[in-house]
Amino acid sequence: MAQPLLKIENLRTYFYAHSKQAFVRSVDGVSLEVGQRETVGVVGESGSGKSITAMSVMGLISGGPGVIGGSIHYASDKVQKNLLEGLENYVQLEEGNGRVLTVKKDESGWQKASEKLMAGMRGKEIAMIFQNPRASLNPYITVGEQITEAVRLHSGISAVKEARERAIHWLERVKIDSPRLRYNSYPSGMSGGMCQRAMIAMALSSEPSLLIADEPTTGLDATIQSKIVDLLQELKNETGISTLLISHDISVITRLSDRVAVLYGGAVVEYGPASQLLDAQAGFKHPYTAALLASVPNQQKIRARANLQAIEGEVPDTINTPPGCRFYARCNQITPEIRDKCAAIHPELKDVAPGHQVRCWRFIN
C-alpha cells in the first residue's frame, strides 16, 4: 500500500487546568492515518479532543504544556517528514496513580524546533477551514483580495493580475454567484454560507495536499449546511484532495468519509472503513459508536419527539483516568463475562476485520 499522506501516532496533547490544579489529557494517544485522496472523518461528542488533534497537527496549540509527544509523519510529493521530529527531547513527564503529576517542557526550545519543522507547511501543504468562517476572514479586506494574497503567498504566482485571475477561478469553483462582483465584497456583506465558500476557496487556492476541515458546517442553517457538504463532496471528486474532516455531526461524517475514527476521551475507540463503521447493523462496533449512530435523528424519532441525546452520562474526566475502559461508566453492553476486565484494564485497539479496529473487551479474547 502507498505511504499515507498523514500518519499520526500516539499523539498526546495536555493542558494545565488552573481551576483544577491538574493536567487534562485532551489528546491522549491518538493514532490515525489519512491516505492519498482519502477523506477520513473524525467524530465524537464535544470535548473528545477533535479540534486539539487538528491544532496539534497544525502546530497551533496555545496553552501549556501543549503537545508533549507522539509523531506526525507527513508524506506528500514535495515534503516528507515527522512534524514532531526530535521534539520529545524537550519534554519530561512524571505520571502516577492515573494522573499526570509534573510536566517539564523547554517551551522556547520546543517552539523553535517546531517552527522549523512547520516552515512552509501551514496554508501551503496543509490548509485548514473552521467553524464560524466570518471570524476567520479579515473584516477590512475584500474576500477577493484575501484569496489573491493567499495565492501569491503559497502558490508561486507573484504577478498580481495572474493571482487575481486564480482567485476568481477559485471563487467560481466554490460556486459563488457572480465571482467577479463578489471579489470586491467584504465578509460583512456576505452570508455565513458564502463566507465558508470563500474560506474553502482560500484554503484550496494554495493547492495544499491536505485539507483539515474542523466542523465546517456547524453553526450554519440546516439547508446551507447541506449545500456546503454537497460542495465539499464535489471538490473531493474533482480535486481528489486528502481531507481530515472533523465533526460532532455523524450525518456530515457519513456523507463525506471514506474512513472514520471515533474519538472518546482523547483516544480513538474505533477506526475503520466508513461503510462498515457507520452501518448500524454491522456486527463489530464499539458501544460508543453504536450510541452515536442511535442518536442520529430520523423521521420516526422526530415525529415521536424522542430524546435524541441517546448517550447518557458525561464526557470522561481526563485528569484522573480510572484503570479500566474509559467508557465503562456509560456502557450499556457490559456482560458478566467481561465486567471485571472492563473495570480494571484499559483495552487495546484490536483488529475485528481487515482495516477495522475496536477498543472494547467484547472483541478481545
Task: State yes or no: residue 320 binds ligand ADP (CB under 6 A).
Answer: no
> Judged by CB under 6 A, how many residues of this single chain contact ligand ADP?
13
Whole-Å CA distances, 103 to 15, 107, 207: 10, 11, 38
Name the burial class of residue 365, with classes exposed (0-12), middle (13-18) and buried (19+) by CB atoms within 10 angstroms of its CB.
exposed
Q: Residue 150 or 263: which CB sits closer to Mg ion?
A: 263
Residue with smaller CB distance to ligand ADP, 28 or 38: 28
Q: Could you give the CA distance from residue 363 to residue 352 in angstroms, rounded to a whole number?
A: 7
16: region left, alpha or beta (phi > 0 left; psi from -120 to 50 alpha): beta
131 binds ligand ADP (CB under 6 A): no
Binding partner of 216, given Mg ion, ligand ADP, none, CB within 5-8 angstroms per partner class: none
Strand partners of residue 66:
14
CB nearer to ligand ADP: pick between 76 and 218: 218
For Mg ion, the closer CB: 26 or 205 = 26
Taking the complex as a whole, the smallest distance from the CB of residue 30 to ligand ADP amounts, in Å, to: 10
When binding is defined by CB under 5 A, the residue of 39, 51, 205, 318 that contacts Mg ion is 51
Q: Which of residues 40-99 bind ligand ADP (CB under 6 A)?
A: 44, 46-52, 63
Angle among Cα 32, 37, 40 to the nearest 5 degrees reads 35
205 contacts Mg ion (rule: CB under 5 A): no
Q: Which three cell numbers stand for residue 277?
A: 463503521
- Torsion over CA: 268, 273, 278, 279 (sign): negative
- Prior bond of 208 cis (ω within 30°): no
Which of Mg ion, ligand ADP, none interacts with 52 (beta carbon under 5 to 8 A by kind)? ligand ADP
Residues contributing to the site for Mg ion (CB under 5 A) = 50-51
Residues contributing to the site for ligand ADP (CB under 6 A) = 15, 17, 24, 26, 44, 46-52, 63
